[in-house]
Structures are given as structure tokens and as C-alpha cells.
Amino acid sequence: MASPPSCAVLWTLFLLLIPTGSWLKGAECRFRRQAEKDVDWPPATFFIFGDSYFDAGNNNYINTSTLDQANFLPYGETFFHFPTGRFSDGRLISDFIAEQAGLPLVPPFLQPGAEENCYGNGVNFASAGAGALVETFQGWVISLRRQLSNYRKVERLWRHELGKREAKRAMSRAIYLFSIGTNDYFTLFLTNSTILPSSSHSSYVAMVIANLTTAITEVYGGGGRKFGFLNLGPLGCLPGLRILQPEDNGGCLEEASRLAELHNEALSKMLRRLASHLKGFKYSLYDFNSHARQLMNEPSKYGFKEGRTACCGTGRFRGAYSCGGRRPVKKFELCENPNEYVFWDSFHLTERAYNHMADQMWAGAPPLVKPHNLRHLFRN
């Protein structure tokens, strides 16, 4: 009988079978130079930070629960026809924005092979369940702080490939899109956390905004100048929080919605302050809150049939977070046509709703989008 191979032999075979780009992340990447000398490289690049509204699959690659994953059917059924990790039946707002900007789908940072062209089109750092606070669903998600750490890896790679000066110039042309904060407030209602007394709402919001401010100024310090933001939707009106109300009350959970309003007021004020103090700082702020309310309250005006009940889930408003049957609640129902619904599951929107909102973010005008829309940021 032949003797088993030694550890050294096995290790050598292992190294030969591992693609170099995955083993030494970024070590073999090379920017693809443009043939025309007058074309800048990299082109306008798209960096995406946030939560499940933007997560394109990063949570597929971390040790977490199915509560923070969407890598199973019926997620993805409409456009991709298979689950990608996106929390929708298809594409997300960030996917549509990339398309408007002439970019391919921006890959998740953790997706194998994403670094092959040095992230020349950008990269998506978002993680479902993440918040601005490190403590939000800690240990189950990629926090905003960790997302910034991953961004710094890309920044270092660019400096290595392009040189410090050219890398900073490329960073200044990039667009940085954020959707963050929702989970910092969800955790107060969906876990065993003690609900905040009203007197503490403002101080809690101030903590969330302070962490987001730190992230923005860190990106700015590395060269970032053009930023996009969604404010928070009417949180208490999402199907997953509506069901926390008594059965004879089909209204919104007002305490959650009030926290979102306080957050949005503070976010708007903070961005105006940064724009007045940071040279070259430009931003686009989309009023997700007011437009989501319009879609929920007047769905037919925008071509939808249902604005309050989710397409996928169970119970009242299909608000039980069971879509796909892979979560603690196994039973779920699925609508026939997601295009008729604003909500896909208990907390997330359908591809059609996201497409509609992305159009507004790209080309909209005040008061819905201000002071700039994303088209202006990408093209100027």
C-alpha cells in the first residue's frame, strides 16, 4: 500500500490549486489602461456603503444567520432568476444607479475575484443588518467601521498601483453612496433591547449621526469629495413593524417613524454643515422617507396595486419575516406579480420600487433630491 502524501506535498498542491488573485488579494491586479491618452483612468468609480438596501451579496461570505442573508429563492427571482444575496426580487437602487452611470454591476467586496481589475469600477461594501453603531447586531454583520476598513484596503491598493497623487485624484472623482442608520433603530424594536424613553431619542440619534460623520470625514480625508445619501424611510410603516401594533390597529408604529424623522433632520443639518466647512465637499440627499410614504399611500399613482402588504412573507401585511422559508418562521406566501407591490418582504422593496427611486435619485430635483442629483455628481 502506498504511503499517504506528506503535509508538505499536500500544502504545495493546495497552493497550486488556489487562484493567485484569491490567495493574495489584490497582489496580481492591474488597472486596464485606456487606449486613448486623453481618457482618465480609473473612470468615475462607485463606492457603496450601508445595509440591506445596498448589500449585493457581502453577507453570503460571512458567518451570520439567515435573518441577514438573502441567498435563497425567491430572492432574485425577477431579474437574475437566482438568489444573489440581494434583499429584493431583483436589482437594488445601487444597481440601477450604476447602470445610469454606464457602469457594470458593482461587485461585493467579499466576492471572490472582485479585485481582478483593482476595483476600477468601484466596489460594494454594504452588509445587511449593519448600522452606524458598531454595537448594532454586532458579530453578525459587517459594521460601518469595518466597511471603512475594507475601503482603506482599496485605497492602499490604488496608491500602490497609481501612486499617491494619482490615487487621490481618482478618489476625488469617485462617488460614495451611503444607506445606513435603519438597523440602529430597528434593533430597539426587534431585539430584547429596552425601548428608549422619549427623552433619550435625541441623544441616541446624535450617536448614530456622529458615527456617520466620522465615516464621511474619513473618506473625505482620503480624497473623497462626492457623496450620495438616502435618508431613512418611515420605519414604523414597514410591514415588519406594522405587525407590532395590536391587531385592531393597522397603522404605523409611530415611535419608530419618529426616530427616523429625528435622524433625517439631524442628517440634513450635518450635511449642510460639512458642505460649508469642507472644501470641495458635494453631496446629494434623497428624501427616501417622503417618497416611500407616497408609494405606500398612493400606490396606483405610481403604477402599483399594493402599497402596504409585502409580496413575500406571512401573517398580517405579510409582515412576518419568513420569505423563503429559511428563517425562524418557515411558513411564507408569495404574490403572483412582484411588480404590483411596493414591498417585497417585511422590510425591503421590490425591484420595480427600487428602480423608480433610483430614477428620482439620478435625475430628480428639489425638494426630493438636493442640493444635487446623482447625475450631476457623476458628470461633474
- CATH number for position 147: 3.40.50.1110
Across the chain, mean pLDDT equals 89
What single-letter DSSP state applies at residue 205? H
Active-site hit among 52, 88, 179, 284:
52
Is residue 263 annotated as part of the catalytic site, yes or no?
no
* Cis previous bond, 197, omega within 30: no
20 in any annotated domain? no
For 330-379, the pLDDT digits (tens) are 999 999 999 999 999 999 999 999 999 999 999 999 999 999 999 999 99
pLDDT surpasses 80 at 277: yes
For 181-217, the pLDDT digits (tens) are 999 999 999 886 656 777 689 999 999 999 999 999 9
Is residue 322 annotated as part of the catalytic site, yes or no?
no
Instruction: Give the domain extent around 301.
Output: 39-379
Active-site hit among 263, 291, 348, 356:
348
Q: DSSP E strands: which ranges in 164-291?
A: 175-179, 226-230, 282-286
Query: How many Å apart are CA 288 and CA 281, to the nearest integer?
Result: 22
Nearest to 84 by CA among 98, 99, 74, 97: 74
Active-site hit among 127, 345, 346, 372:
345
Which triple of cell numbers denotes residue 327?
A: 428563517
Instruction: Give the rounded distance of the alpha carbon of 41 from its chain centre.
Output: 26
Cβ burial 271-297 (10 Å sphere, 16+ → b, else e): beebeeeeeebbbbbbbbbebbbebbe
362 in any annotated domain? yes
* Rg (alpha carbons) of the chain, rounded to whole number: 22
Which phi and psi angles does 121 have, rounded to 5°? -95, -5
For 52-72, the pLDDT digits (tens) are 999 999 999 999 999 999 999
Q: Is 231 left (phi over 0), alpha (psi -120 to 50) or beta?
A: beta
Is residue 348 annotated as part of the catalytic site, yes or no?
yes
Query: How many Å apart are CA 222 and CA 346, to the nearest integer?
Result: 37
What single-letter DSSP state applies at residue 108? B
19 in any annotated domain? no
14 in any annotated domain? no
pLDDT of residue 271: 98
Which triple of cell numbers denotes residue 373?
A: 442629483
For 137-153, the pLDDT digits (tens) are 999 999 999 999 999 99
DSSP alpha helices (H): ranges in 60-181?
93-100, 144-162, 164-173
33 in any annotated domain? no
Better-scored residue on pLDDT, 40 or 274: 274
Number of domains in the chain: 1
For 105-123, the pLDDT digits (tens) are 999 999 999 988 889 999 9
22 in any annotated domain? no
Strand 175-179 and strand 46-50: the pairing is parallel
Handedness of CA 91, 95, 97, 103 (dihedral sign): negative
Of 82-86, 160-164, 192-196, the range with the highest mean pLDDT is 82-86
Mean pLDDT over 209-238 rounds to: 97
Nearest to 364 by CA among 350, 352, 377, 351: 377
Query: How many Å apart are CA 320 and CA 239, to the nearest integer?
Result: 8
Neighbours of 365 (CB within 10 A): 10
32 in any annotated domain? no
Own/partner pairs, 364-370, CB within 8 angstroms, 24+ separation: 364/286, 367/287, 368/286, 368/287, 368/290, 368/291, 369/284, 369/285, 369/286, 369/287, 370/284, 370/285
129 in any annotated domain? yes
Place of cell 413593524: 241
CB 158 within 8 A of CB 208: no
For 302-312, the pLDDT digits (tens) are 999 999 999 99
pLDDT of residue 44: 79
